[in-house]
Structure 1
Amino acid sequence: MTDSDCFTDETTVLSRPSWGTHACLVYRSRHDLIDTLVPYFQSGLEQNACCVWLTAEPLQAGAAKKVLARNIKSLDRHLKRGRIEILDARDWYRLNGGFSCSAALHRCVRKGLEAQERGYEGLFVSGNTSWLGGSEWDAFMEYETMVNQAIENSRIAAVCAYPLDVCGARELLEIASMHQLAVIRQDGVWRRIALADKAAPPDEEKRWAIGQIEANIEQFATLADRIRHPLQVLMAIADLIENEQSDTIRQQAGEIDAVVRQLDSGWAGSRAVREYLMKHDLAGCGTASVTEPGPCPHPSEHPDSHRSS
């Protein structure tokens, strides 16, 4: 599988999904959500479906309503009739304060059946997972597996939106494998991630996966040090001026440093995944874009690093 096979150029891969589609949208910004989900819901209305948008940061219910109002005529009428619902994702998924696979699945399937009982063709639903905590990840992946099975032959189309900035290599591979279709924006174009292509040569899939991990390691190292260098300058200035603002500067610098440590943690996680794959010979086929097995430099040892060991 070459890079061009992994990502197929498509400007509107979700413009008219078929019934039973369970897709994954990996987004970078609220604009990615708007560019993809507004046409998705417009398509749902054109196909005489009910539409449910489960919103969360960075595009919450109020903002989502304004966006739809600019693109869908008579939105208020649709909202009043219940043909379109814009809800908070936490309220939908976290019944009684916690996430439950069975409860969330039951709610989705029941909503689809109610849509048909009301004379509509089915249900178009999209849920944003930015609310999802690390402790709930495995349970939500179990839910995604159940959704695949439950809506495969139903009159439901579903798009799950995952923020890229909280997904490491493991999470990206996992969510892509649990959806029939996964898309991400690359170079300003929406592209399909074809991880589930069973006809693809296994070795080529391994190359692609390792390449993504290598890219993550490089990115974590560069970002951490680009932040840490100006942070050290700010701390030095605070020590130099030593006035009533110095403590505030140090406090804020400490919070930024905590974020940088999270980047270091992400670097370590990506490195661990890479070394595991190498150890188990899952990357046995060489490729120019992937380094040979061996130690990865820590961010402080990166060529662009300004950190001292």
Structure 2
Amino acid sequence: MTALTAAGIPGIGEIAWGSHVCNFYDSRDDLVETLVPYFKAGLEGNDACLWVTSAPLESDAARTALAAVVPDLAERERAGQIEILDHEAWYLRAGGHDARSTLAGWLRSEEHALRSGYQGLRLTGNTYWLERGDWDSFAEYESLVNEAFRSRRILGLCSYCSARCSARDALDVVANHQFAVARRAGTWQVLESAALELARQDLLRVQRAADALRDADRRKDEFLATLAHELRNPLAPVRSSLEILERAGERPDLAERARATMHRQLAQLERLVDDLLDVARIQSDRLVLRRERVECGSVIQHAVEGCRSQLEAAGVAWSLELPEEALFADADPVRLVQIVGNLLGNACKYTQPGGHVAVRGRRDGDAFVLAVRDDGCGIAPAMLGRVFEMFAQIEPAAGRAQAGLGIGLAIVRRLVDLHGGSVEAHSEGAGAGSEFVVRLPLAAEAGATHAAAAAPAAQRSPAQRRILIVDDNVDAAEALAALLQIHGHDTRVAHDGLAAIEAASEYRPDLVLLDIGLPKLDGHEAARWIRAQPWGREIALVALTGWGQAEDRRRSREVGFDHHLTKPVDLKTLLAAFAQLFDERGPAAG
């Protein structure tokens, strides 16, 4: 919705929503010639209209005058776009003549107008009925209205009979409105102060901010609905796969397919949760990079290979072109992979099966430039500037399901910003495909030859160990215990902090996998107690928790944990952590 609307009154032109204007008139004809074009413009602009009448232009006469220029007025009244009623009926409905009751009535009418799909509420009231003794309280009401309307989709025009206003009254009126108009001798005059333009600009800023808040609230509601959809999607095949495993019997092929499905869907859930955590970090400004010198081409190639199955499943062909020279950047390799993955995931959503995605890396001066181009559905010009906003959504390509949460590109922009780079979106419009271009600063002497990093040692399964698993999620603890038993370890489980220290004292494990958020005694206190025991100083303590911020890891180190892993953790990562810890401690006893 725009912040401006047509006033319908010559000499004013467009006017900002939230404006509160006063109108001085000498005669009934002046009222007709001011208010009829005012409401005609509103009806043509899809505004809801409320005309509260008084002498000398009462409701029947007002209706007749407006119908002369709006032939379908009766139909619009039946549809509820406009209401014309006498001031006594209005104040009866509002619940009184006092300022707050009257203002509450205006605001309720505006809310109803917006719910009904109109641009806003255009209203007028005539103060001819006002008695001399009520003037001071009414001036207070106008001041209250002037402030309240500023952030609302309301346009208010209040009419005052010149003959019933003293000079002091006129000053009060003008002071409590943005400006005044007067119909005199057949012409309109605009009465404004030197600060009027500043007031108009301020009003526009307030109105645009209010519109942005309404838009953000709408997108939040859409996001929550989409999130529920995205969370349910993986759960259905997981449930079905569990049913298959229970009934597979002598059909190992069915069991294997079910396990593969569960792995894929759980990976999707994990990516979704990681994205949501990144959103929380972005909005609280707690997203931190772990920089190291990385070779850009290798990271890009690794990222594209990681997306190969997603591209193939979408039926999208892809190509990769990288420079022959090694280009280095001081960057977080995990976050660079995430940038590429989000851009490729976006391309999959908006490219039809049979389409193509091209990934190209090149050097441009002291920057590494990554371009991801697709021949998909493209981006409309009106949306091009908003694609990096949080929760922004455009329609997916034909044949594609709902297009996700609308957070992937927002995460890309923030990650690129943190690296000191920039990202832009380009598209010639709907049906013309799109291109996303990321620029990242190269490290000093980026073209120099660097020794290849040593390949990580092959993961090996450590010797049998005694492992205590502590988690208040009984299913999670039992499942992990069973998995570790399959790999040759002896396990026990506990489900609260007090049970953990009792089990550790009796069992004397080589390693404790300890959740933090435990009942009775939290994981930090349990870890402190174990470390304080003579037999607990050499035990490997690993925090296995859903809390993964830098502050959470720091606290884990302080209380004596050797390692901090964030749920959900895959077996490969867990065994690698075991190998590292047990290499440091030597072979298992016995």
The answer as to whether partners of 1:14 and 1:36 remain within 8 angstroms in 2 is: no
CA distance in 1 between counterparts of 2:100 and 2:170 reads 24
Tell me the alpha carbon deviations over residues 121-178 of structure 1, each in whole angstroms, 9 at most, x when there is no partner.
1100000110111121111111111111111121100000000110011001110111
Counterparts in 2 of 1:35-74, with a 5 A limit?
Answer: 35-74=33-72
How far 1:96 sits from its partner (Å)? 8.7
Structure 2 match to 1:131:
129
Q: 1:74 to 1:179 in 2, by over 3 A?
A: same
Q: 1:11 to 1:39 in 2, by over 3 A?
A: closer
The answer as to whether partners of 1:50 and 1:84 remain within 8 angstroms in 2 is: yes
CA distance in 2 between counterparts of 1:154 and 1:169 reads 31
Structure with the higher strand share, 1 or 2: 2
Structure 1 match to 2:107:
109
Q: 1:98 to 1:110 in 2, by over 3 A?
A: closer
Q: 1:43 to 1:15 in 2, by over 3 A?
A: farther
More displaced 10-residue stretch of structure 1: 120-129 or 42-51 = 42-51
TM-score by length of 1: 0.58
The RMSD of aligned alpha carbons is 2.3
Tell me the alpha carbon deviations over residues 257-283 of structure 1, each in whole angstroms, 9 at most, x when there is no partner.
xxxxxxxxxxxxxxxxxxxxxxxxxxx
Counterparts in 2 of 1:18-33, with a 5 A limit?
Answer: 18-33=16-31
Structure 2 match to 1:184:
182
The answer as to whether partners of 2:9 and 2:37 remain within 8 angstroms in 1 is: no
Of residues 159, 162, 165, the one that matches 1:161 is 159
User: One-letter code of the match for 1:194?
Assistant: E
Rg larger for: 2
Any idea what SS the aligned residue of 1:24 has?
A: strand
Counterparts in 2 of 1:71-150, with a 5 A limit?
Answer: 71-93=69-91, 99-150=97-148
Q: 1:196 to 1:129 in 2, by over 3 A?
A: farther
Structure 2 match to 1:267:
none
CA distance in 1 between counterparts of 2:167 and 2:77 reads 39
How far 1:94 sits from its partner (Å)? 5.5
User: One-letter code of the match for 1:144?
Assistant: E
Structure 2 match to 1:152:
150
Counterparts in 2 of 1:218-297, with a 5 A limit?
Answer: none
Of residues 155, 168, 171, the one that matches 2:169 is 171
Tell me the alpha carbon deviations over residues 87-106 of structure 1, each in whole angstroms, 9 at most, x when there is no partner.
11132236699521000000
Counterparts in 2 of 1:191-206, with a 5 A limit?
Answer: 191-195=189-193, 197=195
Any idea what SS the aligned residue of 1:107 has?
A: helix
User: One-letter code of the match for 2:77?
Assistant: L
CA distance in 2 between counterparts of 1:146 and 1:96 reads 16
CA distance in 1 between counterparts of 2:122 and 2:94 reads 25
CA distance in 2 between counterparts of 1:187 and 1:51 reads 28
Q: 1:115 to 1:139 in 2, by over 3 A?
A: same
Q: 1:45 to 1:179 in 2, by over 3 A?
A: same
Any idea what SS the aligned residue of 2:16 has?
A: coil
CA distance in 1 between counterparts of 2:155 and 2:45 reads 11
CA distance in 1 between counterparts of 2:14 and 2:37 reads 9
Q: 1:95 to 1:170 in 2, by over 3 A?
A: farther
Tell me the alpha carbon deviations over residues 28-71 of structure 1, each in whole angstroms, 9 at most, x when there is no partner.
01111111111111111122110000001010000001001101
Structure 1 runs (4+) greater than 4 angstroms displaced: 94-98
Any idea what SS the aligned residue of 2:15 has?
A: coil
The answer as to whether partners of 1:94 and 1:100 remain within 8 angstroms in 2 is: no
Q: 1:119 to 1:55 in 2, by over 3 A?
A: same
Structure 1 match to 2:450:
none
Tell me the alpha carbon deviations over residues 275-300 of structure 1, each in whole angstroms, 9 at most, x when there is no partner.
xxxxxxxxxxxxxxxxxxxxxxxxxx
The answer as to whether partners of 1:54 and 1:86 remain within 8 angstroms in 2 is: yes
- Structure with greater contact order relative to length (CA < 8 Å, sep ≥ 6): 1
Q: 1:70 to 1:13 in 2, by over 3 A?
A: same
CA distance in 2 between counterparts of 1:97 and 1:107 reads 8
The answer as to whether partners of 1:177 and 1:195 remain within 8 angstroms in 2 is: no
CA distance in 2 between counterparts of 1:52 and 1:117 reads 16
Q: 1:79 to 1:48 in 2, by over 3 A?
A: same
Structure with the higher helix share, 1 or 2: 1
How far 1:196 sits from its partner (Å)? 6.2
Q: 1:38 to 1:11 in 2, by over 3 A?
A: closer
Q: How many residues of Structure 1 are paired with residues of Structure 2 in the alignment?
A: 191
User: One-letter code of the match for 1:158?
Assistant: G
Q: List runs of 5+ in structure 1 lacking aligned partners.
A: 1-9, 200-309
Q: 1:128 to 1:196 in 2, by over 3 A?
A: farther
Q: 1:117 to 1:98 in 2, by over 3 A?
A: closer
User: One-letter code of the match for 1:45?
Assistant: L
How far 1:186 sits from its partner (Å)? 3.8
CA distance in 2 between counterparts of 1:172 and 1:32 reads 18
How far 1:15 sits from its partner (Å)? 5.2
